[in-house]
A and B are shown apart, each in its own frame.
Chain A
């Protein structure tokens, strides 16, 4: 009988941009069990809602996760707006979509690069990050920051896009699309890539639902669910269908993310084409009271905000459920019976964001 050994994976590991620890119980080279340990970057951000003004909490929510910052702030603002009965202007809704989809693009491109690096394809990693730089340049030129763009306010947005900027963004999208097309056959058809991803970390459609998976991890198992289908903000006016792959393995999840970059390009083009004239924000008076739940689609999946207000500037409760938090139980189901060498690729395939998970 083979001897069982416990191998610690993380919190510091070459494939992990953020600290998470997984105890891997292995028998020979096969993983039999995986137990996660969190708590390395817990900051207690939800608790701040009881001591910070609800407007200040926008900045806090943006820092739940840098790479999803725009969408965190949008979700928070939408929840407060629903509680206070604030109707956001159409232009603000479209601008939120443009910056949100740019965030999705640079998040997915960052992940595609890291994923390529995880299976040892360094030149592909650099190519993806080269394309990503164009999105970062757009963020910096339009909002003043590369990552945390800080454009949301309760009632709308605080920054606008000029006609010249919109034309420049469209030009950049053409270049990015062309560069992605060149990389498509490598990431989706290369023998080496497929040998490291196809059939690895398989999760079926039913398992994905039962384990509460979210985002590309859920859609990579054939579940047609994307919170943008709810039609929040300007999404209700845009032509959109979720990207789904039925296989449930690491390749399927990377395929979904790669196709979603194209989808985001299409959504930004649509939003720019239909961008209405109008004010950026409406004035908001008073304080939020009551409770509300809102869900949005982040690059990593469904994000839920529950907020309870008491009529003062502070909130009674802010609860944030981020997509990686939902994708950890599915990960624990993917790892058993995989080879030890595949663990980094499988863990990375859920696009783990520990900053989000621990808040």
Chain B
């Protein structure tokens, strides 16, 4: 397990704001499946080459507060996770509504629906 500070949907914005005030650079966000119906959202920050992580456990389908109001650069990572992992971020400053990487007619979510990958013959 990586060293990650646990946060909740209620505290994530204030914790991220604290990181920004302390001079941390936003690196990215990751999502990871935990067990059926649950996921972890990991937030990665850097200061002086030291990586700090936050872990936000969520239920599938649960809306997540967007941190793009604090770090504008997070909007790209959040839009990407909406496309690939089927997440929904509330308050995104620039919401592509799941069309950042996919065309609007694409309905499946690769990391959740397990889109079939053709076997090599």
Q: Which residues of A contact B (CB under 8 A)?
A: 35, 38-39, 42, 44, 46-48, 50-51, 209-212, 225, 227, 229-230, 290-293, 295, 302, 304, 306, 308, 316-317, 319, 321, 325-326, 328-330, 358
Given contacts A38-B101, A47-B115, contact A293 B71 (CB under 8 A): no
B49 → chain A, closest Cβ, in Å? Answer: 6
At the interface, yes or no: B86 with Cβ under 8 Å from chain A? Answer: no
Given contacts A291-B32, A292-B2, A317-B33, contact A329 B73 (CB under 8 A): yes
In the assembled complex, 9 residue pairs joining A and B whose CB atoms fall closer than 8 Å, in A order, are A39-B99, A46-B111, A47-B84, A47-B115, A47-B117, A51-B117, A225-B49, A292-B2, A319-B30
Q: How many A-B residue pairs have CB under 8 A?
A: 97
Given contacts A50-B114, A304-B44, A358-B101, contact A229 B33 (CB under 8 A): no
Q: Which residues 64-78 in B have Cβ within 8 Å of A in the complex?
A: 71-77
Find A326's partner among B2, B27, B100 (CB 8 Å cutoff): B27
Find A321's partner among B27, B32, B102 (CB 8 Å cutoff): B27
B30 and A317 form a contact (CB under 8 A):
yes
In order of increasing CB-CB distance, the 9 nearest A-B pairs are A329-B73, A321-B28, A212-B73, A319-B30, A42-B101, A306-B30, A47-B110, A317-B32, A39-B101
Given contacts A39-B102, A47-B115, A225-B49, contact A293 B44 (CB under 8 A): yes
Tell me the bound Cα distance from A7 to B53 in angstroms.
40
In the assembled complex, which residues on chain B have CB atoms less than 8 Å from the CB atom of A306?
30, 32, 42, 44
In the assembled complex, which residues on chain B have CB atoms less than 8 Å from the CB atom of A48?
117
Find A302's partner among B20, B23, B27, B71 (CB 8 Å cutoff): B27
Tell me the bound Cα distance from A321 to B76 in angstroms.
11
From A231, which residue of chain B is reached at the shortest CB distance?
B49
At the interface, yes or no: B26 with Cβ under 8 Å from chain A? Answer: yes
Tell me the bound Cα distance from A319 to B53 in angstroms.
14
From B119, which residue of chain A is reached at the shortest CB distance?
A51
**B interface, by DSSP: helix, strand, loop or mixed?**
mixed
In the assembled complex, which residues on chain A have CB atoms less than 8 Å from the CB atom of B94?
35
Q: Which residues of B contact A (CB under 8 A)?
A: 1-2, 20, 23, 25-28, 30-33, 42, 44, 46, 49, 51, 53, 71-77, 80, 84, 94, 99-103, 110-111, 114-115, 117
B71 and A210 form a contact (CB under 8 A):
yes
Tell me the bound Cα distance from A112 to B115 in angstroms.
40
By CB atoms of chain B within 10 A, which of A212, A229, A321 has the most? A212
Tell me the bound Cα distance from A316 to B36 in angstroms.
13
Tell me the bound Cα distance from A308 to B55 in angstroms.
14
By CB atoms of chain A within 10 A, which of B73, B84, B99 has the most? B73
Given contacts A39-B99, A46-B111, A293-B44, contact A326 B33 (CB under 8 A): no
Tell me the bound Cα distance from A225 to B72 in angstroms.
21
In the assembled complex, which residues on chain A have CB atoms less than 8 Å from the CB atom of B53?
293
A38 and B100 form a contact (CB under 8 A):
yes
In the assembled complex, which residues on chain A have CB atoms less than 8 Å from the CB atom of B80?
325
Given contacts A306-B32, A317-B32, contact A326 B73 (CB under 8 A): yes
B48 → chain A, closest Cβ, in Å? Answer: 8
From A214, which residue of chain B is reached at the shortest CB distance?
B27
A349 → chain B, closest Cβ, in Å? Answer: 18
Given contacts A292-B2, A295-B51, contact A209 B28 (CB under 8 A): no
From A226, which residue of chain B is reached at the shortest CB distance?
B49
B103 → chain A, closest Cβ, in Å? Answer: 7
B14 → chain A, closest Cβ, in Å? Answer: 18
In the assembled complex, which residues on chain B have CB atoms less than 8 Å from the CB atom of A293?
2, 44, 51, 53
Given contacts A51-B117, A317-B30, contact A46 B84 (CB under 8 A): yes
Tell me the bound Cα distance from A321 to B102 in angstroms.
18
A79 → chain B, closest Cβ, in Å? Answer: 11
B117 → chain A, closest Cβ, in Å? Answer: 5
From B47, which residue of chain A is reached at the shortest CB distance?
A209
In the assembled complex, which residues on chain B have CB atoms less than 8 Å from the CB atom of A51?
117
From A325, which residue of chain B is reached at the shortest CB distance?
B76
In the assembled complex, which residues on chain A have CB atoms less than 8 Å from the CB atom of B103?
39
A209 and B33 form a contact (CB under 8 A):
no
A329 and B72 form a contact (CB under 8 A):
yes
B119 → chain A, closest Cβ, in Å? Answer: 9
Find B28's partner among A210, A317, A326 (CB 8 Å cutoff): A326
From B103, which residue of chain A is reached at the shortest CB distance?
A39
Given contacts A46-B84, A293-B44, A304-B44, contact A39 B100 (CB under 8 A): yes
